[in-house]
Structure 1
Amino acid sequence: MFRIQSATVLAVGLALSACATLPQQSAPVEVGIAAFNDFHGSLEPPRQAVLAPDGAGGSVAVPAGGAAWLATALDSIRARHPHHLTVSAGDLTGASQLASSLFLDEPTVGVMNRLGLDFNAVGNHEFDRGAAELTRLHKGGCQQLTRRKPCLLESFPGETFALLAASTVDARGRTLFPASGIRRFGKGRAQVSVGVIGLTLKGTPDLVDRAGIAGLTFRDEAETINAEVPRLKAQGADAIVVLIHQGGRQAGNTPDPDGCAGFAGEIRPILDRLDPRVDLVVSGHTHAAYVCDGPGPLLTSAGLYGTMVTDIVLAIDPRTRKVVRRSARNVIVQSVPFTSAKGAVPLTQDVPQFAPDPAIAAYVGRYVDAARAEASRPVGRLSGPATRGDGSDGGTLGNLVADSQLAATHDAGAQIAFMNPFGLRAALVPAADGRVSFGDLYAVQPFGNNVVTETLTGAEIKAALEQGLDDKGPEQVLSASTGFSWTFDRSRPAGDRIVAMALNGRPIDPAATYRITINGFLALGGDGFTVFAGKPGATTGPTDIDAFERWIAATPIRDVPQERRAASLIP
């Protein structure tokens, strides 16, 4: 009897123990992923407004961004997830704020090391100073590879996070940096693994100085990802995450940052070709915000400049080794109020407010203080704000910059200057007395391109303008200098949309030659304007920002040209 009772008790005890442990073993393991993209060295609040739903069917402008506030936002997200990763989808550096760029983006790396970034995929702007300097930025050290001296404020240890470049290979077929990485969470039977693939867009050579990436090839995005998935699966990856510096955007002027309405873009055909085992794609490049959770992988993007972070959850079943649940939302990094060209952007109660992280703020402050003398140096006065257009054209700011580059190259015979709208990074808003500083100008043009004057026929000018409207990428209406006007019709076939061009009131002669000025990026065929590339007899002039500064300073008050020099027959 005693033995029977003992056996029964033992059996019951084992059954109860199994019941108690089974749910724990089989419960999905949640991994939180805090993701952002296109930080562009935005150490200080970038005076950027993010539109958020106001709960009443409209939207509210929220002041956002800044490294110290981003650090706090990341901490708040990670605190909710015992298992977590922090990732970036490229353009962490390049086209940066002055306090970062003056110091070769070393402070941006320092910030990312301190706030706990795990993985960053290379973007096109990581290559702005060339592959050799990017390698130094990753590995550390003080070897001078550019015009500026490194390590001016501190010794530079390099990046403590992983830099991924799956599609960027050298002549031997080796990736410039690792293609992927893997992280494991939990213990025993409840352990799960997340594989991360990082890469930039195939078109990177069209967006950077080709001399800096000589010998490198940028392979097809989907083919690269699909080749890496089975390698990660063989290493035991249960979930596959892709960090890619390519993206799209929603339709409309005020899209929901957590929406996917009318989504389109160059990442769409990449997604359509992906291995179905990819669970999440964190994207960038277009500076747009979206969350697309439909068939295929979950797709996210968090805008730009650290103004948002995407809070992502992947729930992984440790028995089936598959993602069984996923979610994502964009968290606005509300920081400090500011005044834009359109007026005040105050704090709002519609979204959470974040306090700056003291340690990050102190670190950033060292570099901001060091850059302040140069940033605050006055350069002249403007008659009013110079603002960008709707994204595809440069607006009054594009006019102003084009005029400055024409004036700087008159001695080279320049008759027309063109400016690409994507090269204008911020509006130029003077102080109340009209004063603008060097830092203000730098925020507009942070690239340090030289201006180049070359000879084109009238037919080539038309072909170049057509390339901005050719449906192969985002529309770009080139801003033109004073005296040049042109008209286009979007309803006509691509390649035949320019219907009129004139210089000082006289039609452009297709067979005649003209001296035109552009920045060095366009002169290399950047942004897809290949007509400008490889012209013999080109003359190199001053840097774009030097030309801009001289133009502003040349008169007591520089008038902002308000005329529309490019006209569309169909809005």
Structure 2
Amino acid sequence: MPATSPAHQQRQRRRRRTNRLLATAAGVLTAGALAAAALPGSASAGESKSRGHGHHPGRYQDVQLLSFNDLHGNLEPPSGSSGRVTELQPDGTTKTVDAGGVEYLATHLREAREGNRYSITAAGGDMVGASPLISGLFHDEPTIEALNKLDLDVTSVGNHEFDEGAEELRRLQNGGCHPTEGCYTDEEFEGADFPYLAANVLDEKTKKPLLKPYWVWKKKGVKIGFIGVTLEGTPDIVSAEGVKGLSFEDEVETIDKYAKVLQRQGVKSIVALIHEGGFPASSSYNYDCDSPGAGDGISGPIADIAENVTPQVDALVTGHTHAAYACTIPDPAGKPRTVTSAASFGRLYTDTTLTYDRATGDIARTAVESANHVVTRDVPRAPDMTALIDRWNTLAAPIGNRPIGYISGDIPKDGTESPLGDLIADAQLAHGRALDPETDLALMNPGGIRASLTYAAGGTEGDGVVTFAEGFTVQPFANTVNLQDFTGAQLVQALKEQVSGPNEAAPKILQVSSGLTYTLDLTKKGADRVVTDSIRLNGEPIDESATYRVATNSFLAGGGDGFPTLGQGTNDLVGLDDLAALEQYLTANSTPTSPIAPPKADRITILD
């Protein structure tokens, strides 16, 4: 569907909403009232709320719901592809738009709230974790401070909220200085002003939610409940230590349970904040996935969740997949229900109008309108956010500005096999061989690579300089490099697990070190996509009975990301953290006059 101007889209949405509300009200309004409501210049049922001027409020009250997800501590504008969105143009072509940065996000949200007396701001999890240095170095206290200034009202937890464990998450909620590093400033960290919701995250001993399961927003008789959950599979993608003592329950069953609780409390308008997502048919943020010929709209886990969550829930704010969509999926009663996601890193926000029916206390579902908007960088920066960034950057600068290497061009993280993935695997192989010369190869999970390395100068650095801050942004998890022994058969099985089991629907292609090659046939299904007899190490076929010494990070060595076979290695040897391994490799293999060139990413042959 061709893109139209925001003003035109807003007029169209208002016109459709008015028509729908009039149709809904036909059974209760008199013919004279209907005629008056249809007169030119008269306020629609949804508009009457903000134009009462002291009179009794109208039946219908428009409530603005602003939402975003997967910020991951990106306070400064993200670089490379992480800082761009794809926009569909009126003629059907696309263009990329620079986007993101909390200084701009604050301005956009504040402008969006203007004129909306009933406005809520909510988030879909992963506000912190895998964060750039400015936030990650200080255990994400800067991001919580920024979210407080953004007037965030509520968020669900995401899987990355558990990167440092339950106690650290409680500290982010409740405040207090870091238990081992103390206070970073003269003032004690105050914690989040907004509630983190974790309805499906239970303490294994007490069987009670780790944090609040739900929260209710109230204003002048309007009540909207929020239930927050993260994906049930969180333990599969977080280190075992991060989820120790916790259980993660089914998303649908949990939401249905607390929807009943809210209903019993008289809260009939409900929004679910779900840190689980889907994959839209287009990568353009403004693609109309409900238009005729739009294909399946959204595929992936959120589609199944949306089709099964109780009809008592009126809208779903989602995340996790870093995709952008504002679609409708029928609920179990067959009624359309809005499902949204605002990409990631603060590049988009979603503006949803929930039309509250004061007579029923519920949302007039047919009147819900929603759209994603770009956090462009052509607006004034929010001064309070600029001051926040400057203050934390001053503290981080002595560490972050240190050069650790030099590159001759951008080294992107994107692609089935990425140049940056190859570089990191090579760095871990080199570190492994420094620990044990018998190390044969290295494997790196793609989800552990959080950003590309960009050539262009940023801040005080020169072109091609890689600073510690940039390296930290690429690998912020502090995983160690672990060496383990595997049989050739186990190695083959691990490669098959990239495209089978929990990874079949959304493959996780391991990045491989130099010397390991194979063919991936995407025309096939499941494990058969890995062409077994194509697997070679230094040109020789893998001997399934032989033993191979393999370097991985500690997350993979624990069987993370759906690779149980990688959790079965023997003869463990633990090295430095993965960022130190990358720094050592860059320092040893690059200089200002002889920088590292982007790897060719030609180790995996793709057939599609």
Question: TM-score, normalised to structure 1's length?
Answer: 0.89
1:45-103 Cα shifts (integer Å, max 9, x gaps): 11201112233322221111111111111111222321111111000010111101111
Distance 1:68 1:488 in 2: 42
Residue pairs, 1:415-494, within 5 angstroms: 415-431=440-456, 433-470=463-500, 472-494=504-526
Say if 2:376 is the partner of 1:331: no
Residue pairs, 1:238-257, within 5 angstroms: 238-254=268-284, 256=286
Say if 2:194 is the partner of 1:161: yes
1:469-526 Cα shifts (integer Å, max 9, x gaps): 1254421221110111011222334223221210000000112111111111111222
Structure 2 match to 1:295: 330
Contact 2:417–2:601 (8 Å) recurs in 1: no
Unaligned runs of 5+ in 2: 1-32, 38-44, 49-55, 332-336, 457-461
Structure 1 match to 2:586: 552
Moved more, 262-271 or 156-165: 262-271
Contact 2:307–2:329 (8 Å) recurs in 1: no
Contact 2:307–2:330 (8 Å) recurs in 1: no
- SS of the residue 1:409 aligns to: helix
Say if 2:256 is the partner of 1:232: no
Task: Identify if the C-alpha distance between structure 1 residues 512 and 277 changes in structure 2 by more than 3 Å, giving closer, same or farther.
Answer: same
1:285-323 Cα shifts (integer Å, max 9, x gaps): 000100012423210000101111100110011112221
Structure 2 match to 1:414: 439
- SS of the residue 1:401 aligns to: helix
Q: Which amino acid aligns with 2:514?
A: T
Structure 2 match to 1:505: 539
Distance 2:285 2:300 in 1: 15
Distance 2:452 2:207 in 1: 42
Task: Identify if the C-alpha distance between structure 1 residues 358 and 549 changes in structure 2 by more than 3 Å, giving closer, same or farther.
Answer: same
- SS of the residue 2:349 aligns to: strand
- SS of the residue 1:355 aligns to: coil
Q: Which amino acid aligns with 1:378?
A: P
Structure 1 match to 2:550: 516
- SS of the residue 1:442 aligns to: helix
1:164-198 Cα shifts (integer Å, max 9, x gaps): 00000012211000100111222xxxx22101000
Distance 1:288 1:196 in 2: 22
Task: Identify if the C-alpha distance between structure 1 residues 229 and 63 changes in structure 2 by more than 3 Å, giving closer, same or farther.
Answer: same
Contact 2:504–2:526 (8 Å) recurs in 1: no
Task: Identify if the C-alpha distance between structure 1 residues 275 and 454 changes in structure 2 by more than 3 Å, giving closer, same or farther.
Answer: same
- SS of the residue 1:157 aligns to: coil
Say if 2:409 is the partner of 1:384: yes
Contact 2:286–2:371 (8 Å) recurs in 1: no
Shift of residue 458, structure 1, vs aligned partner: 1.3
Q: Which amino acid aligns with 2:175?
A: G
Structure 1 match to 2:51: none
Contact 1:26–1:319 (8 Å) recurs in 2: no
Shift of residue 561, structure 1, vs aligned partner: 2.1
Unaligned runs of 5+ in 1: 1-15, 336-352
What percentage of residue pairs aligned between the two structures are identical?
A: 38
- SS of the residue 2:526 aligns to: coil
What is the root-mean-square deviation of aligned Cα atoms in Å?
A: 2.1
Structure 1 match to 2:399: 374
Structure 1 match to 2:320: 285
Contact 1:377–1:438 (8 Å) recurs in 2: yes
Task: Identify if the C-alpha distance between structure 1 residues 124 and 294 changes in structure 2 by more than 3 Å, giving closer, same or farther.
Answer: closer
Distance 1:462 1:329 in 2: 45
Residue pairs, 1:63-212, within 5 angstroms: 63-144=98-179, 148-152=181-185, 154-170=187-203, 171-186=205-220, 191-212=221-242
Structure 1 match to 2:604: 566
Q: Which amino acid aligns with 2:522?
A: R
Aligned residues: 528
Shift of residue 434, structure 1, vs aligned partner: 2.7
